[in-house]
DNA sequence: CAGGATATTCGCAAGTATATGAACATGGCC
DNA sequence: GGCCATGTTCATATACTTGCGAATATCCTG
């Protein structure tokens, strides 16, 4: 640890956090809901940022590379595997919970 | 439709249901909780049985074969992909909901 | 017992995610 | 501007999931 980063981008993560949410109340509000509503990709970004990790750091924890993390955090990406999700969750002291909820009627909702 | 199955195994599914839960109060009780606690495999079995489908029928709905369904319903199997889960959920008029829940402390829970 | 329906398992081809490393783009900081 | 950290994208090889068909096992029914 020892926080070796002087002033330089002290918390590179904060910069990202700032870039994404600074002065964007709606997004800040949505930050909570995002946990339950948004796509997997965004959930992963949230978790990582809230853990104060960079993609490379998380990658090391998970046992992969930044490339992989980046791909998983891409909203367009749909090929997630439970194995990877579990690995990431585990690294972030989280647990993946999967539930099948009945869709009201003919409402074909997006795939979570 | 037309329920073409006279007495023959009228609800082949009921037989399974019976085989799994008949005279097993604990399991019957767990049936509800299972929806939220048990492994993905068992969740899939529940959903299919409650929908009154055989593996082949579900397979056809999903666009795969009974082999695949069987594999997914195997408790040992861990290689689920979100893509497949979504396909099955969609066929069963359900929606896959994924959440990352923080694990209390050092309690390394099983992967949902 | 023979017949039918279901579930389970196996092998193989094909598609896809992952592992890995590299190059590139961006934004702060000196 | 130069430097550093971060994120993004690309390319390749490997591992794994899926699709598919067939064989086997088990249970129910006539």
**A24-57: pLDDT as tens digits:** 444 444 444 333 335 889 889 989 999 999 999 9
Asked if residues B84 and A97 have their Cβ atoms less than 8 Å apart, the reply is no
Q: Got the DSSP string for chain A? A: -TT--SSTTTTHHHHHHHHHHTT-HHHHHHHHHHHHHS-HHHHHHHHHHHTT--HHHHHHHHTS-HHHHHHHT-TT----BHHHHHHHHHHTTEEEEEEEEE-SSS------
Domains of chain B: total:
1
CATH code where residue A57 lies: 1.10.260.40
Per-residue pLDDT band for B61 (boundaries 50, 70, 90) equals very high
Given a contact cutoff of 8 angstroms between Cβ atoms, the answer to whether A97 and B98 are in contact is yes
The reply to whether B38 falls in a domain is yes
At residue B85, the pLDDT reads 94
In a domain, A105, yes or no: no
The parent domain of residue B54 ranges over: 13-91
Is B79 among the domain residues?
Answer: yes
Residue A98 lies in a domain: no
Q: Is the CB of B82 under 7 A from strand C?
A: no
Flag whether A54 is in a domain: yes
Q: What residues approach strand D to within 7 A at the CB?
A: A 5, 8-9, 12-13, 16, 54-56, 66-67, 70-71, 73-74, 81, 83; B 6-9, 15, 18-19, 63-68, 71-72, 78-81, 83-84
Q: Of all residues in chain A, what percent carry a pLDDT higher than 90?
A: 45
In a domain, A108, yes or no: no
Q: Report the distance separating Cα B78 and Cα A85, nearest Å.
A: 12
Chain B 41-70 contacts with nucleic strand C (CB below 7 A): 54-56, 66-67, 70
The pLDDT of residue A82 is: 92
């Amino acid at each position: 640890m020892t926080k070796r980063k002087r002033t330089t981008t002290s918390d590179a993560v904060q910069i990202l956090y700032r870039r994404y949410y600074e002065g964007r109340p709606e997004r800040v509000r949505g930050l909570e809901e995002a946990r339950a509503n948004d796509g997997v990709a965004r959930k992963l970004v949230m978790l990582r940022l809230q853990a104060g990790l960079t993609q490379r750091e998380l990658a090391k924890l998970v046992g992969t590379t930044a490339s992989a993390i980046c791909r998983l955090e891409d909203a367009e990406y749909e090929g997630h595997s439970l194995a990877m999700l579990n690995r990431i969750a585990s690294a972030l002291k989280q647990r993946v919970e999967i539930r099948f909820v009945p869709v009201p009627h003919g409402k074909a909702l997006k795939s979570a």
